[in-house]
Amino acid sequence: MSLRLRLTLWYSGILALTMLLFGIVLYFFLNYFLYDQIRQDVKREAGNSSLRIQKSIALSQKGLVVDLELESRDFYSTNTFLQLYNVTLKSFNRSANLQYYDVTLPLAKNTIDKLKQEDGFFEKTKVLGQDFLIYNQAIRSDVQNQLIGVLQAAVPIGSYEKTAVTLKYTLMIWALLTIIVAASLGWFLARKALKPIERVIDAANQIGSSDDLEKRIHYDGPLDEIGRLTETINGMLSRIEITYLELDEAYRAQRRFVSDASHELRTPLTTIRGNVDLLEKMWKQTSGSTELATPDQMQMSLEAMHDIAGEAQRMSRLVNDLLALARADAGVLMEKKPVEFMPLVQEVVRRAQLLEHTADWQVGDLDALEHAVVQGNRDYLQQLLFIFIENAFKYTPVGTVRFEASRTDSFIGIRITDTGIGMDKEDIPHIFDRFYRADLSRGLTSGTGLGLSIAKWIIDEHGGSIEVTTRKDEGSTFMIWLPANFPLPV
């Protein structure tokens, strides 16, 4: 059963119950009101006649005559019919209108027996095929309080009965028509109100069948529950789209990472295997021979072993870099403690002079680092600085590499500036990607393309940031900012 049908049935059911209760209350209220008015009129007429009869009885008893007579009045102009029954004489005295129609109101024995216990009561009966409401009132003697007569006041109620029946059927037909109209209107309103939900279903089906995450649900109605639901789903689709794109990009990056890592590891392995094959051939040539290896063969052996050692060191650095990035991806927490930054930087500057470089190494003012304390890992901070210094030396064959420091209220900055080959602005967003190397430097300089990725991870772990300024053929500047404290010296 659809939600639209359930809502319509609920609307119709509640309305039907309301109309039923309203109709029942209205019917019984009007019915009671009409009959109550009739009862009061009949009872009042019977009461007035009863008083006159009681006076007549009193006068008759004084004359030692018991005769009950109905006062002669003109009842032609009224709908009230009176009939007096003499219990002693078992005779009837009727009003003029009853005499005119030659009708006698029915009087059963159980009515007389009941009036011996009660003063009066109402009953409905039919006279000549018409409905009458009769009030039976007891007439008693003053002496012994004995029932001596029965006064019956009757009024025809056929018109009232027809009015009640008409009212009943009118209420039933009106309730039925109202329920039908309300059900139709409820169906229409439910359809209109639930139209956005159908759009949500259609959009979800289209997304599920075509993977079109760019599709959104169009809604131009008020910001009610449906409107908020639509906005929520559209927001969720946007987040899903962003997540999907990020996952897709991460998957492509992972494939690229595996491909580049395989390529970088294959190159030194190929060199090592080639040199090992060369040494094996030379060993076979000299084995079993009394002659020693020639100077050329010795030189080739030394070169081969030198290449093997160099490629092994290269592989070791590559594996260490990959291990560091794997730890970063695994969310390994870096052990940190307060580190005095000035001694650390002085040690790095001293050791940087020993690195292979052709550019002029210049150290600027480092006083800004005085008393600076960084909450971090000493080894990783040294690795961070060496990565940028080695890159500057690597991409500056001729020129200068300058190292200097600055500070703010809560940060220290390390600026490394070179006058090397620089980069295009299109390369800047990718320089921290793994294995990414600018096209200009591919084949010209050695490296794995992992250094800046590791440096970015170290900076992020320490809550710092980095700024890059570069221009092709003019050089690059890397500004590293790290949060620091500056406690007063003791």
Q: Is 435 helix (H, G, I), strand (E, B) or coil?
A: coil
- Is the CB of residue 78 less than 8 Å from the CB of residue 38? no
**Residue with the larger pLDDT of the pair 21 and 318:** 21
**Left, alpha or beta for 399 (phi > 0: left; psi -120 to 50: alpha)?**
left
Q: Which of 133-142, 146-155, 220-229, 375-384 has the highest mean pLDDT?
A: 375-384
Strands, E assignment, 307-420: 337-340, 360-363, 373-376, 400-407, 411-418
pLDDT tens-digit readout, 319-329? 776 666 666 66
Work out the pLDDT band at 179, boundaries 50, 70, 90: confident
CB 402 within 8 A of CB 477: no
Name the residue type at position 161.
Answer: E
Instruction: Give the span between the Cα atoms of 57 and 88, in whole angstroms.
Output: 13
**What is the band of 241 on the pLDDT scale with cuts at 50, 70, 90?**
confident
pLDDT score of 368: 92
Top-confidence range, 14-28, 321-335, 352-366, 447-461: 352-366
- Between CA 61 and CA 143 the distance in angstroms is 10
Tokens of 465: 């940031």
- Please tell me the distance from the alpha carbon of residue 416 to that of residue 390, in angstroms, as a whole number: 11
What percentage of the chain's residues is helix, strand, coil (to nearest 5)? 55, 15, 30
What residue type is 233 in one-letter code? I
CA–CA gap between residue 337 and residue 376 (Å, rounded): 5
The 3-state DSSP class for residue 285 equals helix
Give the tokens for residue 57. 């009885």
Section 11-17 average pLDDT: 77
Place of tokens 């190397």: 437
Domains of the chain from N-terminus onward: 3-168 (3.30.450.20), 259-329 (1.10.287), 337-483 (3.30.565.10)
Model confidence at 483, pLDDT cuts 50, 70, 90, reads very high
| Whole-angstrom distance, CA of residue 397 vs CA of residue 469 | 19
pLDDT band at 71 (very low <50, low <70, confident <90, very high): low
Compute the Cα dihedral for 235, 241, 245, 246 and give only its sign. positive
The mean-pLDDT minimum among 14-23, 270-279, 344-353 falls in 270-279
**Pairing mode, strands 400-407 and 360-363:** parallel
User: 28, 168 in Cβ contact below 8 A?
Assistant: no
* Secondary structure (3-state) at 428: helix
Q: How far apart are CA 179 and CA 145, in angstroms?
A: 59
What is the DSSP code string of 259-289? Answer: HHHHHHHHHHHHHHHHHHHHHHHHHHHHTT-
**Tally of CB atoms within 10 A around 42:** 24
